[in-house]
Amino acid sequence: MLNIQNVTKTFEKGTVNEHVAIRNLSLSLKKGEFVTIVGSNGAGKSTLFNAICGSFLPDCGHILLDGKDITYEKEYKRAHDIGRVFQDPMKGTAPNMTIEENLALAYTRSVTRANPFSTAITRKKTELFRENLARYNMGIEDRMKTRIGLLSGGQRQVVTLLMCTLSVPKLLLLDEHTAALDPATAEKVMEITKTIVSENQITTLMITHNLNQSLSTGTRTIMMDEGEIILDIAGEERDRMTMEDLIRMYSMKRQKDFDNDRILLAR
């Protein structure tokens, strides 16, 4: 489903601030695969997501989605097939619009090119949105006329998840989407995430700062460092692995200590 081939991205090339953010990176995901990504600060995780979404063009390499080369496709065009949930609950939504207005805009993104009037909010759509929200017991299914900026962080992330998945995307990117939430809310949002991904068999990449979560979510874990994938673990090897094992493998690979307190403190 996703095939990244030898992608490199250097920022501020030719200056004293030159920084290689992604270095000759290759990665393939099968349809329906759920892969978690870990790495220290500056490892290139979010930069990888930005490359996939089209926030910038790579210096070299190719990105293919469902067999189509999207390397040079505009960001807004990729958004029809790629859903992304950010760490900040304030991103990805229009805070001054209501819950149903946000959901309606997202739900119709895959058909607006064929029917520009399909964004209208109908009773049928409102009922669909309410039914889906009610499943997750976040107390927002009866607040459809509420501006989304008035919701709590957890409520907003659930709405954003639905915005990204009601029209099932080919690829879902979760950019530390529970990191800004309190532990109880983060756990609930994570369970909702797993349910949505599993039911729809969505090909998913999830960045997380929690090593334990990275090993218990999905079926494959990759670790990035200095713009490269240095570990790619799945199957029985992953099932047996602990957070300490993962850090030890990193140290053996890089000959240095893992330097991210957020990960080391996540238990």
For the segment 189-210, the average pLDDT, to the nearest whole number, is: 93
Contact (Cβ atoms closer than 8 angstroms) between residue 159 and residue 92: no
pLDDT, residue 264, reads 43
Complete edge-to-edge strand list for the sheet that includes strand 68-69: 19-29, 2-11, 60-65, 68-69
Pairing outcome for strands 220-225 and 34-39: parallel
Q: In angstroms, what CA-CA distances link 230 with 2, 23, 38, 78?
A: 19, 11, 11, 28
Q: What is the pLDDT of residue 120?
A: 62
- Maximum CA extent, the chain: 60
pLDDT single digits (tens) 41-61:
889 999 999 999 999 999 999
219 token code pair: 């079926």
Q: What's the whole-number mean pLDDT along residues 163-174?
A: 92
For the cut 50, the answer to whether the pLDDT of residue 235 exceeds it is: yes
What does residue 177 show for φ and ψ, rounded to 5 degrees? -75, -5
Among 98-112, 114-128, 201-215, 244-258, the minimum mean pLDDT is found in: 114-128
> Which pLDDT does position 28 carry in this prediction?
96
Residues paired with residue 8 on neighbouring β-strands, in sequence order: 60
Q: What are residue 147's DSSP bridge partners?
A: 98
pLDDT digits (tens, 9 = 90+) for 115-164: 544 556 778 888 888 998 998 888 889 899 999 999 999 999 999 999 99
Separation of alpha carbons 237 and 229, rounded Å: 17
Beta strands 171-175 and 203-207: pairing type? parallel
**pTM tops 0.75, yes or no:** yes
The dihedral through the CA atoms of 189, 92, 79, 41 has a sign that is negative
d(CA 133, CA 164): 13
